[in-house]
Amino acid sequence: MESGKEQVTVLNKDLYPAIEPYSTGFLKVSDIHTIYWEQSGNPDGHPVVFLHGGPGGGTSPSNRRFFDPEFYRIILFDQRGAGKSTPHACLVENTTWDLIDDIEKLREHLEIPEWQVFGGSWGSTLALAYSQSHPDKVTGLVLRGIFLLRKKEIDWFYEGGAAAIYPDAWEPFRDLIPENERGCFIEAYRKRLNSDDLETQYAAARAWTKWEMMTAHLIPNEENIKKGDDDYFSLAFARIENHYFHNKGFFPSDSYLLDNVDKIRHIDTAIVQGRYDVCCPMMSAWDLHRAWPEADLKVVQDAGHSANEPGIAAELVAANEKLKDAIKGGK
């Protein structure tokens, strides 16, 4: 346990300054899909791969700032159908297992023997699934806003549970769907997000995205909420999320990620969770902590879901610093 003084020193650590990539590219991962990737920081540093949320959210330049650019070789990529990857918002050949294969193809393409894995929200889901599939390729894990893609988590956020906290944000999401279809919002939105009419798709995508963006911060973030007005972003975000949630994450069982913790128990891992996370409530982080007490759980008491909230960002930087020190100490 760190002393109080050391803890304060670490938590006052700001995000690292904005940096630009030193290399970018596109990797063809299937006959259909090509993914965008970039590298920043130290070309000879310890590799870390950033797994974005959604699925469908894509990466942004600010994602580079959680890592010390002098120590880390920072790899970001846009998952199938998201961000700069093509084809945009495509659901064909787009499953968790396809994404896991893509991560491996990217690692091999960049000639990286093993790397640290960092993921929040859906990124935590994918990080767990990837690590359980390839535990020998992962040097450490930093997970935020734990999402295990269980039925009770989907039901909480998309079938009315979270409406108890955000009724004002919920009503526009609910009201897009006629009353006779409100028995399952995932299915009702799926029909519209896959409509033959593009405007029907856009309207559903805007409503879906705004619901999530309005609930992602403890204190509403107007810049984040505006993403719901961007049809290009919203379509990929909503279509791909809905596709994954309809298919239960393509996992063979509801408890798949918890059932396979033994495969990654040895990996040095930090879990960062906002106490008042409405999108991915703390029950999931707690269930993971109970199954995996060896992982270090940090609960941020004044935060919701977003990695960009100050307390969560500070803990994520601190987690990377701790892994960095462990790597330096091991050399």
pLDDT in tens, 294-319: 999 999 999 999 999 999 999 999 99
Which residue, 147, 149, 143, is CA-closest to 250? Answer: 149
Sheet with 138-144, edge to edge strand ranges: 23-28, 34-41, 72-77, 46-51, 115-120, 138-144, 269-274, 296-300
pLDDT in tens, 240-251: 999 999 999 999
Residue ranges and CATH numbers for the domains of the chain are 23-151+251-330 (3.40.50.1820), 158-248 (no CATH)
Active-site annotation holder among 33, 40, 78, 121: 121
| pLDDT greater than 50 at residue 2 | no
pLDDT of residue 3: 35
At residue 252, the 3 state secondary structure works out as: coil
CB 116 within 8 A of CB 323: yes
Confidence of residue 14 (pLDDT cuts 50, 70, 90): confident
Confidence of residue 11 (pLDDT cuts 50, 70, 90): very low
Tokens 């091999």 locate to: 108
| pLDDT greater than 60 at residue 131 | yes
229 is catalytic: no
253 is catalytic: no
CB 140 within 8 A of CB 267: yes
Contacts of 10 (CB under 8 A, 6+ apart): 2, 314, 317, 318, 321, 322
60 is catalytic: no
What pTM value is reported for the model? 0.95
| pLDDT greater than 50 at residue 40 | yes
Active-site annotation holder among 52, 217, 289, 305: 305
In DSSP notation, 287-330 reads HHHHH-TTSEEEEETT--S-TTSHHHHHHHHHHHHHHHHHHHHH
pLDDT in tens, 250-273: 999 999 999 999 999 999 999 999
Active-site annotation holder among 68, 78, 102, 277: 277
